[in-house]
Each structure stands twice: as C-alpha cells, then as structure tokens.
Amino acid sequence: MKHGAAMVVSILLASQGLSAQTVEEKWKQGHSRHGEAFDVGPREKPWAMEGIGKAHFPITTSKAEVQQWFDQGHNLLHSFWYYEAERAFRWCVKLDPECAMAYWGLARSSDNGERAAAFMREAERRKDKVTERERMYIEAWAVRFGPDDPKDPEAAPGQSGDRKYDRFKRLLEAIVLKYPDDLEAKSLLGLEGLGGGNRYGAELLLQQVLARDPNHPGAHHYRIHNWDGERGDVALDSCRAYGRIAPAIGHAQHMPGHVYSSVGMWHEAAISMDSATRVEKQYMARRMTFPFDNWNYAHNKNYLSYIHSQLGMIEAAIGDARQLLAAPRDPKYDNPDQYGTHWQGTLALMRALVQNERWKEILEPKTFAWRDIFRDKLWRAYCETLAHIGLGNLDKAAKSYAAHAALSADAKKPDNRQFEQTYSVQSLELRGCLALARGETLTGLGHLATAAARELEMREHQNDPPSYPRPIYNVLGRAYLEAKSPQLAAAAFEKTLSVVRNDGFALAGLAEAYAAAGAPEKARDAWARLQFVWSDADAGLKPLARARALGLQAKPRDSSPGTQRNYRSTTLDHLGPNLWEPYEAPALDALDSKAKRVTLDEYRGRNVLLIFYLGEECPHCLEQLTEVTKRKDELFRLDTDVLAVSSDTPEHNAKSLRIGQLPFRLLSDVKLENARRFKSYDDFEELALHSTILIDRRGRVRWARHGGDPFTDFDFLFKEIKRLNDEAAPPAKTESARKQ
C-alpha cells in the first residue's frame, strides 16, 4: 500500500466511534457544553453598539454589566436583528449563567422553534429567582414556545395552534394590565396585533408608548409594519423617525422604504433602501460577514432595484440585480432553489429587463443561469416568449410559448402550488401578446384584460417587492393606445396607479392617453407628476421620450402624501459603501512543521483554502482533512493552495504519524491568536472552532464557514473557486505551490 493511501486509511480509522462521545469530548471538538441550541449562532463576544435605539428593560442579575448587554439585545430585537441580539444575550449568560431573562432573550432571538423551546426551558428553571414581572414574561413566552395545546385540532406537531397563541396573548395582556407603566410590555403587545383585524387597537397601544417615549425604536418600527400597505400614510411620522433613532441598523433604514413605496414616494423609498444596503455593507465589512449571512441584505437590494426602476433609473436597477448575482453563495444559507440572494438577483434582473423591454439582453445566454427546475423553466419560457415577440420573431415566440404551455401539468403538482397563480397569469399575458402580434386584436385585448385583473390582485398580496415583472394593466394600456382606444387606455393606466401609486410607466402612458382622448388638463397633470417621479430618469427612456414629445406644458409636481427629498442629490456615502466587496483577510502569522514563518503574502496571486482544525484528536477534523487530501490535485488545478491550522506545535505536526504526512502545510497556532483573528474561536466558551475559509488571489476573503462541525461540501467550494478564477487574471505559481 502506498504511503499516501495508508495515511488516508489511518485518518479514516481514527475518525470512527463518534457516537459515544462525552459532553467534554464534544466540547473539545468545537461543540457547546450547553447543548445543541448553543451550537449555532454567533460565537464572538459583542461590542457596545451605537445607533440602535434606546429602550430599557430592567432585569434581575448578579452582575451589573449584564443589564447593559441585555438592553442592547432587547433593542436589537425591537428592530428584528435577531443574530446580533443573540450575541448580546449569550454574553449575558457568559457573565451570569443564572440570569433567567437572558435565556428568555435567547429564545426570542432564536431562528427555529426547537432552539427557542430549549432556551425557554432554561429560563423556566430559573424563574423563581426573578421578580414577579419577569416571571410573567417567562411564563408567557414559555406558552408561546412550549408544546402545542393537545386540545387544539389546528395545532400541527411543532407549530403553534390558535388556542396556544391566544393563551400567550392573554398572558401578555396580563402584564400590561398589572404593570401599566411597562412600555416594553405595551410595545410587545402592539407587535402581536400588527396588520390584523385590530390594527387600530395596536395603533392605540403604540401611541401610548410614544406618548411616554417619543423615540422608542420598537413603537416606531411596529407602527410602520402595522400600516405598511394601502394606509402607509398613517405611519409617515414613524418612517421619518425610525431611521434617525436607529441609524446603525439596516432594517431601521429599510422598513420606511416599504411605506414610502406603498404611497408612491419613490425618492424617499430609494433613500431608505439605499441607506439600508449601505449600512449593511458597512456592517459586513467591519464584522467579516457575507451577504448570505445577512438576513435582510438580499431583500434590501432587490427592493432597491425595483425602486430604481420605478424612478426610471434602469441602469442602476440592473446594476443592483447584478450585484446580487455576483455575491458569494452558500449551500446552506443561500440555496439557489430557494428565495435567497441568487434568486432575488434573478427576479430583480428579470423585472428590470422585461419592464424596460431589453429583449436582446434577455436572450443573451450569459444573462441568466437558468436551472433545470420547474421555477426556472417557468420564468425562462415566459421571458424568452416576450423577448421573441418584442423582436418580431413570432416563430421563435411560438416555440417558447409551447415550452411554457407544456408546464401546465407540472404547475398543478403539490410541490409547485406556490407558482400556480403566477403560471396562470403568465399564460394569459403571453397568449394576449402573441395574439396582438399576429393581428388578432380583440382576442389579444381580451386575454390581456383578464391577465391584468388577476395580476393586479396578485400584486396587492405580493408587493414585497412584486415578483411579477410589470403591471399588466400597463401592457393593456399600451395595447389600447395602439388600437386607437385612448379612453380605455387611460382607464387601464389608472388601474395600475390605484395599486402602484405614482408608477412612472403608467403616468407616461396616461399622459399619452389623455392627450389622445382630448383631455389636455388631465394629460398635463399626468405629465407634471411624471416629471417629478422621473426627474433623474436615464436618458433615452422610451416612455419618457413619448410623453415629452407631446409638448405638454406643466411644472413637475409631487402628488404623494408627504414631502420628499431628491434621491440623486442626497448624500449617503457616510452610511457605508455603495458596492459590497470581499473583505481583506486578517493577518495570518503562523509556523509550519519546519518552524518556518508563514503569512498570506507568500500566496498572493493564488487562491488559498484556509482550514482551522482542532488537532488530530478531533475525528470530525480528520474526516475533513481526508476529503481535502483526496482532492488535492483538483484543488491545485484550480490554482488553490491548502493551509491547515491548529493549536498543535510545529514539532508535533512534524512527528505525527497520523497527519504529519498530509500533502499540504500544517500550521501551528498555539496561542490561538490566528483563530481569533479569523473568527475561529468561541469567546463564550473559550474554545477553538472549525473554520473553512476561501481567500482569493488578492488576499480577500470570499467565503467562510465557522462552527462546531467542519465544512465538507467540496463540490460547492470547487464551483465557488471556479467562479473566482473566471473573474481573476491568470494566476502566479508560487514556490510553495510548485513544491506541493
């Protein structure tokens, strides 16, 4: 047997027998002593955050410092920043393991029901050590995150049924009644009543909070959610206040943009969403995280792309979409089959190209990376049919439409039910557009009218931002204009404006329609409104050019319910960068098995796969190193060097029969200084973690995974490395690389 093969067998044998490990053994391998609930989430200690709002929630603790971190976590929860809130609450537990309310905070920060339930059990164990008020909070949330009510026939396993939720709300109401001066109880009760049948009741509660504390971050945030939609104008005062109160939180900048969009204040909407993306990119750069780690980033950027398009800033809208498509991916946190960064980028690009009739770009093979799944087949056939119609290629359009029609049976399958309504609307729109292109005017108008009504109804419930590329009433209005029916055209454009307020495409069409219908005053009104909305629109925008050619005389007029700033002239650079970029890798300063100093400068010009492992006694680590060994030749062909770092000494690495002969450099980080710099250390439990980090040829971190288990999806990593190589210049061959 060859030496390399023997070494692999040795590692595999050493990795067996994992099931009977003690808690202490698992802890030494990067797992929490406190159980699985602590094995995910943030692992580094918090820092004092400014610009997150100020709300005080007094708790019982044996350490005065804990109150500071609890308030920080609680304020972050008011803005739905669960990940950073969890970091603060974990530090509370680190400082005071018996702080019951810290576990309550962890439960509220949790990303799934099982973790929340585990945290709440810890809070309940300690509830006799707190005040009656705190105990009532713990008992209320213990119901919310506890077992389902067996008497509730609606409660599925692992889900909260109506009876259980009603009991939770009654317990929360009891806190408000017993402690009427507790603003946190009122704000949290207001949160539970958002957007439902009692919006006014939630409004009254939140107004009571604001009467006592006009800068309460939760009350302003929840009011925005409560009125997001048709009556967004009710919460405009909170929209103006929230971002000012919590400027360092992306969501606090983002949520006002929802309301501004719903009421047609597109300049303010752009300022909000652009601010949000900048704040989050600043956070990612400083905290060494990625778009797939940041729960709201893709949503922000997708929404900003939509708003840019609504402002007629088409190139900016396309640029937003391409930023999302170029962002690093992750197989767990950004599955391309799901609604993650990549798919939202695809939706944003489709929307911008279809809405602005960029037909040739849609058909370019490199524009979309379509996958062989129903969702992608659906949208590809839709986009390509429209593109071929737009370019006058009716034979090709018929073939694309046939591909779309062939998906009819698949659209009705249970796994595809979420797309069934979209498919139906697409089918009607495509049939209408094809009929019009063939000269079948009445048939085409009929299909489009039905599609427009259904799409508008769908848009009222899917406006976050809308997944459908364009309001079909705008398509119908254009068709009526071409059919010499301006009154019907005006009615169609007005329909769009009833839901998408101050829609520039509808306003442009409306100016044409009213001018053709002999209604000059209405035409001038539409032109005045359009000039304000599209004051910074791209040159050459066709709808704008057609409206301008009418020669209407009117000054720009803002018809929205609030005063707006001009987006282009508003400076936002102080909030953060415009583009997301990979962060510069921290300093690597370690010794190899020959006691030679190693830094990343030695590897400039090549990619580096940096692996932090926990020593040869960690069987999970050995499994990972085995996989790397099997693929070393493939990695080298991808111009990628492997460096493996542990706390073992250089002498140990040199003499080890188990790992000493691995075909890449083993680095020593005895004091774990490198591990701390590269986020491969748990500050809460003071132990090293597994980390797999991909560093590009310029020394920038492009992807990373840290935690209690090592990363072994090398097929994914190879795809990411290939993406990096496609973007970069030809690599340099280092002396270290040639020796491997």
Strand partners, 591: 597, 668
Is the pLDDT score of 110 beyond 80?
A: yes
Concatenated DSSP letters for 422-437?
Answer: HHHHHHHHHHHHHHHH
Measured between alpha carbons, how far is 255 from 107 in angstroms, rounded to an integer?
A: 24
Task: Locate 78 and state its tokens.
Answer: 């008011």
Write down the mean pLDDT value for the chain.
91
Measured between alpha carbons, how far is 362 from 359 in angstroms, rounded to an integer?
A: 5
Residue 727, pLDDT score:
81
Q: Where would I find the beta strands (DSSP E) of 3-60?
A: none
User: Left, alpha or beta for 576 (phi > 0: left; psi -120 to 50: alpha)?
Assistant: left
User: CA of 73: how far to CAs of 130, 146, 247, 375, in Å?
Assistant: 19, 22, 16, 38
Measured between alpha carbons, how far is 619 from 25 in angstroms, rounded to an integer?
A: 11
pLDDT digits (tens, 9 = 90+) for 378-418: 999 999 999 999 999 999 999 999 999 999 999 999 999 99
For residues 469-496, give the mean pLDDT: 98
Residue 729, pLDDT score:
55
Question: Cis (ω within 30 of 0) for the bond into 465?
Answer: yes
Q: Where would I find the beta strands (DSSP E) of 24-163?
A: none
Among the residue ranges 3-7, 249-253, 486-490, 726-730, the one predicted with the least confidence is 3-7
Q: How many CB atoms lie within 10 A of CB 176?
A: 19
Name which residue leads in pLDDT, 312 or 42. Answer: 312
Measured between alpha carbons, how far is 232 from 216 in angstroms, rounded to an integer?
A: 19
Task: Locate 533 and state its tokens.
Answer: 């909305």
For residues 92-119, give the mean pLDDT: 95
CB neighbours of 96 closer than 8 A, spacing ≥ 6?
A: 61, 62, 63, 66, 102
For residues 53-65, give the mean pLDDT: 98
Contact predicate 249/52, CB 8 Å:
yes
Residue 27, pLDDT score:
57
Domains of the chain: 367-484 (no CATH), 583-739 (3.40.30.10)
Name which residue leads in pLDDT, 27 or 423. Answer: 423
For residues 115-136, give the mean pLDDT: 97
Is the pLDDT score of 550 beyond 70?
A: yes
Is the pLDDT score of 464 beyond 90?
A: no
Contact predicate 59/123, CB 8 Å:
no
Residue 643 parent element (H or E)? strand 640-646
Q: Where would I find the beta strands (DSSP E) of 265-389?
A: none
Is the pLDDT score of 548 beyond 90?
A: yes
Place of tokens 């018809």: 559
Contact predicate 684/43, CB 8 Å:
yes
Q: How many CB atoms lie within 10 A of CB 671?
A: 9
High-pLDDT (> 90) share of the chain, %: 83
- Kindly report the backbone phi and psi dihedral angles of residue 457, in degrees, each rounded to the nearest multiple of 5, phi listed first: -65, -40
User: CA of 533: how far to CAs of 185, 266, 293, 557, in Å?
Assistant: 41, 7, 34, 9
- Please, which pLDDT band fits residue 274 given cuts at 50, 70 and 90? very high
Residue 150, pLDDT score:
64
Contact predicate 301/285, CB 8 Å:
no
- Please, which pLDDT band fits residue 36 given cuts at 50, 70 and 90? confident
- The model carries a pTM of 0.91
Among the residue ranges 29-43, 166-180, 360-374, 551-565, the one predicted with the least confidence is 29-43
- Please, which pLDDT band fits residue 2 given cuts at 50, 70 and 90? very low
Q: 570 in helix, strand or coil?
A: coil
Task: Locate 202 and state its tokens.
Answer: 């939630």
Place of tokens 């340099």: 732
Is the pLDDT score of 162 beyond 90?
A: no
Task: Locate 53 and state its tokens.
Answer: 């709002």
Measured between alpha carbons, how far is 76 from 183 in angstroms, rounded to an integer?
A: 16
Q: 181 in helix, strand or coil?
A: coil
Residue 678, pLDDT score:
97
Contact predicate 559/524, CB 8 Å:
no
For residues 44-59, give the mean pLDDT: 97
Q: How many CB atoms lie within 10 A of CB 65?
A: 12
Residue 365, pLDDT score:
95
For residues 612-627, give the mean pLDDT: 91
Helix ranges restricted to H, 126-182: 132-145, 162-178
Contact predicate 362/384, CB 8 Å:
yes
- Side-chain-side CA neighbours of 407 within 13 Å: the count stands at 26
Residue 4, pLDDT score:
46
